[in-house]
Amino acid sequence: MLTVSTRHAIDPVSAKALDTKGLRDAFHMDGLFAEGQINLVYTHYDRMIVGGAVPGGAALVLDHVKECGTASILDRREMGIVNIGAEGTVSAGGSDYAMARGDVLYLPMGAGPVTFAGAGRFYILSCPAHHAYPARLVPIGEAKQVHLGEAATSNKRTIYQFIHPDVMPACQLVVGYTQFHEGSVWNTMPAHLHDRRMEAYLYFDLAENARVFHFMGEPSETRHLVMKNEEAVVSPPWSIHCGAGTGAYTFIWAMAGDNVDYRDVEMVGMEDLR
């Protein structure tokens, strides 16, 4: 079963007028992971698609998506897939990829239909592409690690870069995830902006009663969304994107836009946050 919903782009002036429900309707994404279903959100931020696939007892095939306007979803797109569940298999382009928890798979433009099978919980990210780079399965041992923050500021963390220029080529998709050291809860703080790229976060590995407070908005007028386990949020280019959890968690970040330069950001000073 395939379901697709749409998120239209919201400008910063319009966002200021939104109440909590309005913010959640525009930026928050839940219900992505349901057994026997593929659930996608088609965003108008660089045409990024965010979604989830949970095969359960039968394989699921992702092929035609009306919102893409092509016969098959990857006719003019590339895709990143992160397995946040148990072992599963993804098949595309005539190849089968066995994916353990935490593995990331890159599929290029033209790879054809995508089949999900096994006990995996597959997080799906896709954006338009202009070139067919080689497909690649990237286990965590092949990811680039970046260590940031410190325990004293509660943001000591390790960033794992998978679909990233330092690891492999892609058109515009950049994907990785961030894990926190014991006692640290703040992500992406100090905050920053990158007007040339949108971003999406998926928060997972949260306990049932734990929450992440995701901060967004312009630096001069910040807002927040309360996130549960396996919920995602789309971050427009004009918005900060940082958060703090009530307990341990991991988050997957994905970007699309004008470039793939992970360091192309405008830092926001703490004194400028309101």
Binding residues for Zn(2+): 192, 194, 199, 241
Residue 182 structure tokens: 């014991």
Tell me if 105 sits within 8 A of 81, measured CB to CB.
yes
Q: How far apart are CA 183 and CA 240, in angstroms?
A: 23
Asked if 55 and 38 count as a contact pair (C-beta separation under 8 A), the reply is no
Distances (CA, A) of 140 to 9, 19, 58: 33, 39, 27
Q: Binding site: which residues? A: 192, 194, 199, 241
Asked if residues 41 and 49 have their Cβ atoms less than 8 Å apart, the reply is: yes
Could you list the beta-strand ranges (E) of 45-85: 49-54, 60-62, 77-83
Beta bridge mates, 23: none
In whole angstroms, give the CA distance from residue 2 to residue 36.
9
| Nearest-angstrom CA–CA distance, 132 and 171 | 8
Q: What is the DSSP letter of 135?
A: P
Between CA 266 and CA 274, with CA 272 as vertex, the angle to 5 degrees is 120
CA–CA dist 55, 132 (Å, integer): 27
What distances in angstroms separate CA 201 from CA 198, 212, 254, one per listed residue?
10, 11, 7
